[in-house]
């Protein structure tokens, strides 16, 4: 899915919601009897018109054992072609090996995008960027507590934090048409800084809801003229008493934020 298509969907749905499809067998409603695919289909049916992206995290499917990949592939097939589908896999390996991960995410699973870890540098990321029409979403500033261990460390030559080095370096590898960054909502105070570093790139924003991130703050500093944000909610929707209601609440907040902070999206 090209950027213009993504922005068009955001405009028409008045939403930049991404639904995280991270099914935890111990938490899905009893009536599904542990049938993860049926649960996913139900969540997708409840949210399809309210979101522009779905993000299954591969760990939750690996946890299902040998059948996990099949369930993930069937889930992705059920979503269809009208949403951006992000394989949240956080992969990265030496060049020829990253190419295999890319083939798995894009060809075997049918995803449009994959999250990638930056530690191994250029040749570990390039194979993902080289896939025509696909997106690489690179970890920059993550939403977890451990993000402070290395990502915030100031670099000797520039005085910038590591996440800034990662973003500035990667912006030389990819463009706003094939590269996004993961920027956690739990670091909302950093969004002005993140947007200054990468004014035109899309950010995938986890950490709203269960992890405590502040949607309003993220929107105030993070929105740009093409929206530029995909805000993810996983547990906050999947295990809500009424998942559709939870998604609708977020979509309405997003509609409001777009009108207030990114009116050019509608021009």
Cα–Cα dist 210/197, whole Å: 27
Residue 104 engages its own copies in binding (rule: CB under 8 A): yes
C-alpha 183/C-alpha 225 separation (Å) is 18
Choosing from 13, 55, 73, 90, the catalytic residue is 90
Q: Of 66-74, 78-86, 193-201, 252-260, which segment contacts its own copies by CB under 8 A?
A: 66-74
User: Residue 34, interface with its own copies (CB under 8 A)?
Assistant: no
Burial environment of residue 77 by CB neighbours within 10 A (0 to 12, 13 to 18, 19 or more): exposed
Q: How far is the CB of 213 from its own copies (least distance, A)?
A: 12
Q: Which is nearer to its own copies, 159 or 267 (CB)?
A: 159
Specify the residue, 38 or 94, whose C-beta has the smaller distance to its own copies.
Answer: 94
Q: Does 121 bind its own copies (CB under 8 A)?
A: yes
Binding mask 202-231 for its own copies (x = CB under 8 A): ---------x--------------------
Report d(CA 86, CA 138) in Å as an integer: 12
CA 166 to chain centre: 17
Nearest to 262 by CA among 209, 234, 230, 220: 220
259 is catalytic: no
Q: How far apart are CA 120 and CA 138, in angstroms?
A: 12
Residues of span 127-156 touching its own copies by CB under 8 A: 139, 142-151, 153-156
Nearer to its own copies, 178 or 251 (CB): 178
- Single residue of 4, 8, 12, 122 touching its own copies by CB under 8 A: 122
Structure letter (DSSP) for residue 177:
T
Check if the beta carbon of residue 22 is closer than 8 Å to that of residue 235: yes
* Catalytic residue positions, numbered: 90
């Amino acid at each position: 899915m090209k950027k213009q298509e993504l922005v068009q969907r955001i405009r028409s749905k008045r939403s930049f919601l991404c639904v995280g499809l991270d099914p935890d067998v111990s938490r899905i409603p009893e009536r599904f009897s542990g049938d993860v695919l049926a649960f996913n289909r139900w969540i997708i049916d409840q949210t399809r018109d309210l979101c522009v992206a779905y993000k299954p995290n591969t760990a939750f499917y690996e946890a299902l054992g040998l059948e996990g990949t099949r369930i993930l592939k069937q889930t992705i097939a059920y979503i269809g072609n009208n949403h951006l589908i992000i394989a949240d896999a956080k992969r990265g390996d030496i060049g020829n090996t990253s190419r295999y991960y890319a083939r798995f995410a894009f060809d075997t699973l049918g995803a449009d995008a994959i999250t990638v870890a930056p530690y191994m540098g250029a040749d570990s990321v390039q194979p993902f960027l080289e896939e025509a029409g696909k997106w690489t979403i690179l970890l920059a500033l993550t939403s977890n507590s451990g993000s402070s261990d290395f990502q915030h460390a100031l670099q000797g030559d520039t005085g910038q934090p590591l996440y800034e080095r990662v973003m500035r370096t990667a912006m030389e590898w990819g463009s706003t048409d094939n590269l996004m960054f993961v920027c956690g909502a739990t670091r909302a105070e950093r969004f002005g800084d993140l947007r200054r570093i990468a004014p035109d790139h899309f950010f995938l924003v986890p950490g709203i809801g269960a992890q405590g991130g502040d949607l309003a703050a993220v929107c105030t500093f993070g929105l740009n003229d093409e929206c530029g944000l995909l805000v993810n909610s996983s547990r906050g929707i999947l295990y809500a008493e009424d998942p559709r209601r939870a998604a609708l609440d977020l979509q309405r907040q997003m509609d409001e934020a777009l009108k207030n902070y990114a009116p050019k999206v509608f021009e």
